[in-house]
Amino acid sequence: MITWKNIALGAYYLATLGERRRAAAERVARYREPVRILFCHRVADTHPTPWSLSTKAFAAQVRWLRERYDLVTLSEAQDRIASGRNRWPTACITFDDGYADNLKFAFPLLLKHHIPFTCFVSTAHVSGGLPFAHDVQRGQPLEVLSRENLVQLARAGVELGAHTRTHANLGGEMPADRLHEELVGSKEELEKMIDGAVKYFAFPFGLRENLSAAAFRMAYEAGFEGVCSAYGGYNFPGDDPFHLRRFHADTDFMRFVNWMTVDPRKLRQHQEYDAGNFRTERLVASTQ
């Protein structure tokens, strides 16, 4: 369905296309290409939710990405960020929560094309087969991945990451023991489930108010190699590679392309925010 917002965004994209192309050429010449990290939740054509993508939309995004970007693991992304030099347009694909519907289309599609991806799961939901509260509230509890599913994915080479035990909001003031249970506990539980290492953590909800310096510090001390937020932003060479910024694989293809081609407005927001207090907090958290 075409809306006035779609039309306005399309007009804005065309108006800034020249600027985007010049900026992209300059970034390539200076080895300053950012890593774009996408996050999805659920790819399915039934029981649509605000956090679902249709199979058609997801397939279109994957096709577009394969033609234009190096699609890499989070580890490779961190290497490119930490090196301070990246010449090639680079992207990562991640999934949050752990919806079983992704086994039907999204995961097979990525595996077929040998595209790496990371799946972040909330371990209490996996072990108990519990639907997420946000789905229950909508009256459509959706199936989550099982332990057996995770083992099979790990054997297929899929990176599995922690997403707390109960999909908890880690922002604000949280008792240290509860934070440890959700953050470190999810790592330990997932490692037992798959009999392998868990290197990455993604904050549930992932907005600025859902993050905390205490959680960053605890994640680092627990041995996580990186943590992912979800408030939007790009990862430039020389940025802190411990904190990986992500944006949503939007259901609207124009919004998706707008993000991926480095929207000048979002870039200015990125720079302004990166100079704020949270940058100091995350650098402290990643160097303790």
Among candidate residues 183, 279, 235, 239, the one with its CA nearest the CA of residue 34: 235
Name the residue type at position 287: T
Maximum separation of any 2 CA atoms in the chain, in Å = 52
Per-residue pLDDT of the chain (288 residues; tens, 9 = 90+): 668 888 899 999 999 999 999 999 999 999 999 999 999 999 999 999 999 999 999 999 999 999 999 999 999 999 999 999 999 999 999 999 999 999 999 999 999 999 999 999 999 999 999 999 999 999 999 999 999 999 999 999 999 999 999 999 999 889 999 999 999 999 999 999 999 999 999 999 999 899 998 999 999 999 999 999 999 999 999 999 999 999 999 889 999 999 999 998 887 766 543 323 444 344 444 433
Name the residue type at position 80: R
Here the CATH number for the domain that contains residue 199 is: 3.20.20.370
Q: How many domains does the chain have?
A: 1
Contact in structure between 103 and 63 (CB atoms under 8 Å): no
Q: For the chain, what is the total number of helices (H) and then of strands (E)?
A: 13, 11
pLDDT of residue 268: 72
Residue keyed to tokens 């369905």: 1
Report the predicted TM-score, pTM, of the whole model to 2 decimal places. Answer: 0.92
- DSSP character string of 131-149: PPHHHHHTT----B--HHH
User: Domain range spanning residue 122?
Assistant: 4-285
pLDDT of residue 216: 92
pLDDT of residue 269: 62
